[in-house]
Amino acid sequence: MNPQFLGRNVYDLDDYSRDEIMYILEATKGMKEINTREYKKIPTLRGKTVCTLFVENSTRTRMSFELAANRLSADVVSFQASVSALQKGESLQDTVYTLNAMGIDLYCIRHSSPGSPQLVHKYSQKPVINGGDGRHAHPTQALLDIYSIWEKLGDLNGLKITIVGDILHSRVVRSNLIGMAKLGAKVTVCGPKTMMPSNMESVYGCRVEYDLGRALSGADVVMGLRMQLERMSEGLFPSLEEYSKHYVLSKDTLKYAKPNALIMHPGPMNRGVEILPEIADSKHSVIVEQVANGVAVRMALMFLILGGKA
């Protein structure tokens, strides 16, 4: 048990130091080993109750959190907005009061509104792991991304990482920018100007490029982001075809990156839009491993926050 992590919230990575992130990565490594066993379960969180409170649809992330809790032997309850009182107009405050009365020890929340994890903690006084709040943050995704890089390439210090796509709407990018910067990586973000937030350089210390070739130049790691079709009706880009022409990750465009550049994507992918199968399924792609690492990272966080015994 490391008292440094006990009862901590994970709203985003800015609350965590470089050393703490490294500690989480080491813990994740241990958890990953458990996930390769025949019996993928340890009794460390027996008697603890984890609630996945998902006020925005997500199957993968919720499953990942629930598997993580199960494998540590915690009890898991799942609250989904679609079938819940929230749709009948109950406030988040009342929902959390109700859940809390049932004895929850840790909340994993996803919500479309930034700052909601902080509210869940305020109402519950229990630790909260942010599973994605609007465009704001997705720290467990960033940790699993960082873990995936660290596992393959070692120390992130000095690595050139390029993230391509709809930067404006991406919580994955924001959390990654914070975490990767703490570990010394040099991050470039790239996408159409209509989907690039203002002040990126001054807020995150990253480089902004609108040209894919320049953005990929010399990259050690390349991450694509999902392009949502609805951005078209919002007037942010004209067509998937035109987007793809300028921003797709393909053999052709990746010639600018380092030859062995690691390929990543947080999923779900639009094959043929932001990434071609030749890249997504290439030997340098860790896209599937990212999913496996996600379970391990979430196990590590739950273990550390709830004070599991090793």
Partner 1 sequence: MKTIIINARVYQDGKLVKRELLLDGKKISKIAEHITDKADKTIDAAGAAVFPGFIDLHAHLRDPGHTYKEDIVTGTKSAAKGGFTAVCAMPNTEPVADNIASVEYIQLRAKEHGSAKVYVIGALTKQSKGEEISEMATMKSGGIVAVSDDGKCVQNARLMLSCLRYAANFDIPVIVHPEDYALAGKGQIHSGKIATKIGLSGIPGLAEEVMIARDIMLAESAGAKLHIAHISTARSLELVRQAKERGLPVTCEVTPHHLVLNEEACETFDTNTKMKPPLRSEKDRLACIAALKDGLIDCIATDHAPHADFEKEREFDHAPFGIIGFETAFAVLYENLVLTKMISLETLVDNLSQNPARILNLPGGVLKPGAAADLTIIDLKGSTTFDKDSILSKSKNSPWLDKTVKTRVKFTFMNGKITYQDN
The alpha carbon torsion through 193, 199, 203, 206 (nearest 10 deg) reads 40
The residue among 1 and 85 lying less far from partner 1, judged by its C-beta, is 85
233 binds partner 1 (CB under 8 A): no
Q: Give the chain's length.
A: 310
Q: Which is nearer to partner 1, 9 or 244 (CB)?
A: 9
Residue number, 10 or 261, with CB nearest to partner 1: 10
Residue 98 binds to partner 1 (criterion: CB under 8 A): no
Of the candidates 10, 92, 163, 295, which one interacts with partner 1 according to CB under 8 A?
92
Q: Which of 305, 304, 283, 301 is nearest to 293 (CA)?
A: 301
Min CB(297)–partner 1 separation in Å: 21
Closest CB 58 distance from partner 1, rounded Å: 16
Q: For partner 1, which stretch binds (CB under 8 A), given 17-25, 74-82, 192-200, 264-272?
A: 192-200
CA–CA distances in Å: residue 180 to residues 13, 183, 217: 10, 5, 18
174 binds partner 1 (CB under 8 A): yes
**Alpha carbon distance 226, 267 (integer Å):** 7
Reading the block at residue 141, the tokens are: 């995704």
288 binds partner 1 (CB under 8 A): no
Closest to partner 1 by CB, 59 or 199: 199
- Work out which of 106, 108, 119, 215 binds partner 1, going by CB under 8 A: 119
Q: Does 125 bind partner 1 (CB under 8 A)?
A: no
Among 30, 67, 78, 197, indicate the residue that binds partner 1 (CB under 8 A).
197
Q: How many residues sit in the footprint of partner 1 (CB under 8 A)? A: 24
Q: Does 171 bind partner 1 (CB under 8 A)?
A: yes
Q: Between 208 and 291, whose beta carbon lies closer to partner 1?
A: 208
Supply the minimum distance, in Å, between the C-beta of residue 113 and partner 1. 4
Q: Does residue 84 interact with partner 1 by CB under 8 A?
A: no
- Under the rule (CB under 8 A), what is the footprint of partner 1? 91-93, 111-116, 118-119, 133-137, 171, 174, 197-200, 202-203
